[in-house]
């Protein structure tokens, strides 16, 4: 019997290093990250070790991030997801319920109500779908198991831990998207720390359950990070019959081309826009072929929220449809 017990003890200790290694392999590099958080930000290593011991790696997150709709669908399919009667009517209803905060956001930040509402509609259907993953699981999975963007998500994980300490909340309690975006506004942790505002002045920046704070935070983000310009254009359909415009596509989505120059070279813009505006030129894929558009500073401000012209155009067109329906016009 004693020999059997001794043998079992030897077996357990022989495999213990393998068991520890297997745990480390779940989050490769976590020890260095914890050391950095302790040295640079004064976190308790024992508490962080306990926290990350409870993290659950989510393989389906790795699958989801490899095929986001913005990159896997053409515009005409992507558009159908967001430009629906239900989402348009939902935007009208949200606007009606939150008129005061939307009007104040426009007064303070210059951002039009329909754009704020449309972002909430695209991101979370006005707060109905804010994400079911624990943020700590999402960020840790992507920080340590997704090499293409591990640096970005390690930064977000650091920001998240700082956020929870500043807000005096348990990091296990936060839920969000598969990429770690949180609340009605779907802010990443760094965006929350930099741009979330206590718009109702109740002492807490609550983008999870408080529409007023979410509205103010989105407007603050668009103004401060995106450079939103009050009463300025967002985008306009364009045409270039017989004009070679391809070299302008290489300029990127940040407006850098004087609209006057595009017009002089034969590009036609559907809406009356001041010619001194800087613009970008881009294509959207329709079923019948590419569609040419001109984007301005406010279009780029929306792109800063999500770096995709498809996303920005979905927000813009949903905003226009919501405004039209609220005003009793056909969209």
225 domain-assigned: no
User: What predicted TM-score, i.e. pTM, was given to this entire model?
Assistant: 0.89
Contact 138, 99 (CB under 8 A): no
3-state secondary structure of 110: coil
41 domain-assigned: yes
47 domain-assigned: yes
Cβ-count burial of 65 within 10 angstroms (0-12 exposed, 13-18 middle, 19+ buried)?
middle
37 domain-assigned: yes
42 domain-assigned: yes
List all residues 6 or more positions away from 53 whose beta carbon is below 8 Å from its beta carbon: 23
- The whole-angstrom separation of Cα 225 and Cα 104 is 19
Contact 131, 175 (CB under 8 A): yes
Kindly state the helix (H) or strand (E) to which residue 331 belongs, with its residue range. none
34 domain-assigned: yes
Contact 210, 126 (CB under 8 A): no
First to last CA, the chain: 83
271 domain-assigned: no
Instruction: Please give the tally of structural domains in the chain.
Output: 1
Tell me the pLDDT of the chain (331 aa) as tens digits. Answer: 444 444 444 444 344 333 333 334 589 999 999 999 999 999 999 999 999 999 999 999 998 888 776 667 999 999 999 999 999 999 999 999 999 999 999 999 999 999 999 999 999 999 999 999 999 999 999 999 999 999 999 999 999 999 999 999 999 999 999 999 999 999 999 999 999 999 999 999 999 999 999 999 999 999 999 999 999 999 999 999 888 999 999 999 999 999 999 999 999 999 999 999 999 999 999 999 999 999 999 999 999 999 999 999 999 999 999 999 999 964 4
- Residue-range definition of the domain harbouring residue 40: 23-54
Q: Which positions are catalytic? A: 123
Contact 141, 177 (CB under 8 A): no
Beta-bridged to residue 268, according to DSSP, are 239
């Amino acid at each position: 019997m004693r020999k059997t017990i001794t043998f079992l003890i030897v077996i357990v200790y022989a495999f213990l290093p393998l068991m520890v290694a297997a745990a480390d392999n779940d989050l490769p590099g976590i020890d260095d990250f914890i050391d950095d958080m302790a040295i640079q930000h004064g976190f308790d290593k024992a508490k962080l070790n306990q926290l990350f011991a409870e993290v659950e790696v989510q393989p389906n997150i790795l699958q989801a991030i490899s095929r986001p709709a913005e990159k896997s669908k053409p515009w005409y399919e992507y558009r159908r997801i967001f430009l629906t009667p239900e989402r348009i009517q939902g935007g009208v209803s949200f606007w009606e319920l939150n008129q005061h905060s939307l009007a104040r956001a426009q007064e303070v930040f210059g951002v039009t109500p329909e754009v704020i509402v449309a972002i909430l509609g695209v991101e979370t259907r006005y707060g109905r779908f804010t994400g079911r993953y624990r943020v700590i699981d999402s960020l840790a999975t992507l920080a340590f198991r997704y090499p293409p963007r591990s640096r970005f998500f390690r930064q977000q994980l650091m920001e998240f831990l700082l956020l929870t300490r500043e807000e005096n909340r348990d990091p296990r309690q936060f839920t969000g998207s598969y990429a770690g975006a949180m609340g009605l506004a779907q802010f990443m942790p760094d965006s929350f720390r930099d741009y979330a505002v206590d718009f109702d002045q109740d002492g807490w920046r609550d983008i999870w359950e408080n529409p007023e704070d979410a509205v103010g935070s989105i407007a603050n983000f668009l103004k401060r990070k995106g450079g939103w310009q009050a009463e300025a254009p967002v985008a306009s359909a364009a045409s270039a019959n017989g004009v070679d415009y391809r070299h302008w596509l290489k300029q990127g989505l940040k407006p850098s081309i004087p609209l006057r120059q595009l017009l002089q070279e034969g590009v036609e813009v559907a809406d009356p826009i001041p010619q001194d505006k800087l613009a970008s030129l881009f294509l959207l894929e329709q079923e019948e072929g590419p569609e040419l558009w001109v984007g301005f500073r406010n279009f780029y401000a929306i792109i800063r929220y999500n770096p995709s012209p498809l996303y920005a155009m979905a927000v813009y067109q949903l905003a226009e449809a919501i405004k039209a329906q609220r005003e009793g016009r056909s969209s």
